[in-house]
């Protein structure tokens, strides 16, 4: 049976045309994003072809980086990037989520609004400023901590190394401070989006304030909070200047948190303008390609883990 329209309900032609134009514009916007990713990936693949032809996929597991002998391996840089990002998340996630809970659920409005504004401003601070601040503030503190650890825990492999101040842990601490505003701000917004009925229902059933926040409120907001953590992870993986200034820039793989390391973005920033030959330049482009693939893979894995956790929790709740 064909649908009939009264004169007042019949769609106007200009509205139909505007909807079609709107849909086309949205499709073009999505296609532009996909095209940019494809262009970026193909450009990096083309630029890295010379190095990959010489070293193959052994490039990703090689541990030597010697531009003079034209022997290149990216594993120390992959290790430094992953370790600094993981350590930064371990530091920033509890503090960031806790700050978001405080701003959304506990702090009075007259305190929460200006404090949230200040936290969001931290995300706009240039990374080189964080690097300079880390050199003058965090490095001396870390040097003192290394001296204390050397005197009292000299046998601990994780805390071994000379007290120079710069190193993997130093870069991770500053990196954690840099990604903290993303986690805190998105956690706050996610918690404020939770319907008040969720908290009121928990309190009405006799739950304490902590039980209400840690139970139905966080359960409702967990998707947004996890999204903020993934955004912070992407920022940590690609951070350049602050990490370059504080990580020590030594391509080595070590268990000690105090020793120097190197990240993929740092080696590109340090050596690309001074590359000694075509193979050296191609090796640096290959590191950029590995960084792109690694970022996409880590974020995809994080998404899968989050979907799994959320689906499991919703299944239990049902």
pLDDT, one tens digit per residue, over 149-204 is: 888 887 888 888 888 889 999 999 999 999 999 999 989 988 888 887 777 777 77
Euclidean distance between CA atoms 304 and 297, whole angstroms: 10
Closest CA to 268 of 251, 293, 253: 251
User: For residue 276, what pLDDT band results from cuts at 50, 70 and 90?
Assistant: confident
Mean pLDDT of 47-54: 89
Euclidean distance between CA atoms 187 and 183, whole angstroms: 6
Mean pLDDT of 106-134: 89
* DSSP 8-state assignment for residue 248: B
Q: Which residue has the higher pLDDT, 22 or 75?
A: 75
Residue 179 lies in a domain: yes
Q: Does 256 have pLDDT greater than 50?
A: yes
User: For residue 215, what pLDDT band results from cuts at 50, 70 and 90?
Assistant: confident
Euclidean distance between CA atoms 184 and 20, whole angstroms: 39
Residue 14's pLDDT is: 60
**Average pLDDT along the chain:** 85
Residue 178's pLDDT is: 93
Helix axes 139-152, 168-192, angle to 10 degrees: 120
Question: Residue 267 maps to which CATH number?
Answer: 1.10.3720.10
294 Cβ partners below 8 Å, 6+ apart?
Answer: 78, 81, 82, 237, 264
Residue 234 lies in a domain: yes
Q: Does 299 have pLDDT greater than 50?
A: yes
Residue 252 lies in a domain: yes
Mean pLDDT of 10-25: 74
Q: Does 298 have pLDDT greater than 90?
A: no
Q: Find where tokens 């883990």 sit.
A: 305
Supply the pTM of this predicted model: 0.84
How many domains are there within the chain?
1
Q: Find where tokens 């970026």 sit.
A: 40
Residue 244 lies in a domain: yes
Residue 48 lies in a domain: no
User: For residue 221, what are the domain limits?
Assistant: 74-277
Residue 173's pLDDT is: 95
User: For residue 318, what pLDDT band results from cuts at 50, 70 and 90?
Assistant: low
Residue 153 lies in a domain: yes
Mean pLDDT of 6-29: 73
Residue 97 lies in a domain: yes
pLDDT tens figures, 83-105 = 999 999 999 999 999 999 999 88
């Amino acid at each position: 049976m064909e649908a009939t329209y009264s004169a007042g309900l019949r769609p106007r032609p200009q509205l139909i045309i505007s909807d079609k134009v709107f849909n086309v514009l949205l499709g073009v916007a999505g296609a532009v994003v996909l095209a940019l990713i494809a262009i970026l990936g193909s450009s990096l693949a083309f630029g890295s072809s010379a190095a990959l032809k010489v070293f193959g996929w052994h490039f990703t597991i090689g541990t030597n980086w010697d531009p003079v002998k034209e022997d290149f391996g990216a594993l120390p840089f992959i290790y430094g990037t992953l370790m600094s990002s993981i350590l930064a998340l371990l530091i920033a996630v509890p503090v960031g989520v806790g700050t978001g809970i405080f701003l959304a659920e506990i702090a009075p409005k007259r305190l929460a609004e200006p404090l949230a504004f200040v936290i969001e401003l931290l995300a706009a601070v240039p990374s080189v400023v964080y690097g300079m601040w880390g050199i003058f503030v965090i490095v001396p503190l870390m040097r003192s901590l290394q001296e204390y650890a050397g005197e009292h825990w000299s046998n601990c492999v994780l805390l071994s190394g000379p007290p120079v101040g710069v190193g993997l842990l130093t870069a991770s601490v500053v990196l954690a401070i840099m990604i903290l505003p993303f986690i805190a701000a998105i956690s706050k917004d996610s918690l404020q989006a939770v319907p008040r009925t969720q908290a009121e229902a928990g309190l009405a059933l006799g739950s304490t304030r902590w039980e209400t926040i840690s139970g139905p409120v966080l359960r409702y907001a967990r998707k947004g909070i996890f999204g903020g953590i993934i955004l912070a992870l992407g920022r940590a993986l690609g951070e350049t200047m602050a990490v370059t200034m504080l990580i020590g820039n030594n391509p080595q793989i070590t268990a000690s948190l105090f020793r120097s390391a190197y990240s993929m973005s740092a080696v590109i920033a340090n050596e690309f303008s001074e590359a000694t030959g075509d193979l050296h330049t191609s090796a640096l482009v290959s590191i950029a390609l590995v960084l792109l693939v690694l970022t996409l893979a880590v974020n995809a894995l994080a998404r899968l883990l989050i979907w799994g956790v959320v689906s499991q929790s919703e299944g239990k709740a049902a």
